Amino acid sequence: MSVLVYVENAEGKFKKSIFEAVSYAKAIATQLNTNLTAISIGNVGASELENLGKYGATKVLNVSNEKLKSFVNQAYASVIAEAAKKEDANIIVVSNSFSGKGLVARIGVKLDAAVISGAIELPNTDGGKFTIKRTAFSNKAFATVDVTAQTKVISLTPNSYKVVEDGQSASIEDFAPTTKDSDFTTIIKDIVRATDKVSLPDAELVVSAGRGLKGPENWGMVEELANLLGAATACSKPVSDADWRPHSEHVGQTGIAISPNLYIAIGISGAIQHLAGVSSSKVIVVINKDPEAPFFKVADYGIVGDAFEVVPKLIAAVKSLKA
Ligand code: FAD
């Protein structure tokens, strides 16, 4: 019995959400008095892998197979399931990222395991039970579930568990999984960046705007603020429906669900369907001229004011900090 954590990389680097997943998996391993192994797939440098020890992984299985260089859901799920069997792992943790969400179900089927997606707390393992809290209905509710299956696959909601640094360097072990042709029904031939901008699903900072901006011609200040902060841009549904912005920027219940460290919402009312996709952001800043806008109820910081006055002042302030 042990714990396995999948450490997804972004162009050879690990993001904060992965350190959260490793810290979380380590805490479960400690609760159950067992070891934590990490599995990395793709080209990641040795120092980056060793560094995972700092967050509690004692060993990292490193898969650097050329066919697995790019993310393919079926194939990655097979590799992780194989690693779980090899390590005798009965708890598998992944981050609830864009790809993590798709992986957990497949890993669950392969290991005949219970799948707990969107976990937000450590499990309670008192008395041999396994009770865990997760989000439900697009973050509008929480469910506390008793899991009786022997093997559990958990995806951790980003920003719900703190990064803990108290370990040493991890050892690296090369792992050559048995890949099957049937796992490669999708073949990634090339990855072309549509834009040089920060990708929204993985962004740590997001500047988002809604119908309060009146029209697409006013997005210059949103882009400028986002560029200065190194943030991705997002929008509400009516904005992408009206073609003011591309659909890939639409966040919410019917768009992308994100959990950045900072979400700045400009001229967005805060409808429940919008909040469903952004409410697990760590810090929410709302700029709205209506003090009664529902978004203020979930904001950490609120600015009541006209976006066309507030945003240029914010831009000037960030510029002066950078100068
Ligand atoms: P509005 O509701 O029009 O709000 C504009 C806000 O801007 C207001 O609060 C106003 O006070 C403020 N404002 C106006 N002028 C200024 C100014 N000069 N300065 C500052 N503030 C200003 N919506 C989503 O976003 N994502 C979804 O995934 C989504 N899914 C949906 C699914 C279903 C089934 C349904 C029925 C709806 C869904 N919606 C979704 C739509 C949602 O209900 C809201 O209609 C939408 O989020 C409102 O967008 P908005 O806040 O940009 O616009």
First-residue to last-residue Cα distance in the chain: 54
Compute the Cα dihedral for 207, 260, 267, 311 and give only its sign. Answer: negative
**Model pLDDT, residue 92:** 98
CA–centroid distance, 209 to ligand 1, in Å, is 9
> Cα 316 vs. chain centroid, distance in angstroms?
31
State the Cα–Cα distance between residues 183 and 174, nearest whole angstrom: 21
Residue 69's alpha-carbon distances to 64, 189, 261, in angstroms, are: 7, 11, 28
The pLDDT score that the predictor gives to residue 137 is: 79
* SS3 state of residue 31: helix
Atom of ligand 1 nearest to the CA of 210: 52
Q: Which pLDDT score is estimated for 188?
A: 84
Residue 173 CB neighbour total at 10 angstroms = 12
Q: Which of 213, 268, 309 to mutate to test the pocket of ligand 1 (most atoms within 8 A of CB)?
A: 268
Sheet hosting strand 205-209, strand order edge to edge:
232-235, 205-209, 262-266, 283-288, 301-304
pLDDT at 283: 95
* Residues 289/306, Cβ–Cβ less than 8 Å: yes
Cα(272) to centroid(ligand 1), Å: 9
Each residue's pLDDT expressed in tens, for the chain with a length of 323 residues: 999 999 999 889 998 899 999 999 999 999 999 999 999 999 999 999 999 999 999 999 999 988 898 899 999 999 999 999 999 999 999 999 889 999 999 999 999 999 999 999 999 999 989 999 998 877 778 999 999 999 999 999 988 899 999 888 899 999 999 988 899 888 888 888 777 777 787 788 999 999 999 999 999 999 999 999 999 999 999 999 999 999 999 999 999 888 899 999 999 999 999 999 998 898 999 999 999 999 999 999 999 999 999 999 999 999 999 88
Pocket of ligand 1 (CB under 6 A): 210-212, 236-239, 252-255, 267-269, 271, 273-274, 277, 287-290, 293, 306-308
Structure confidence at residue 141 (pLDDT): 84
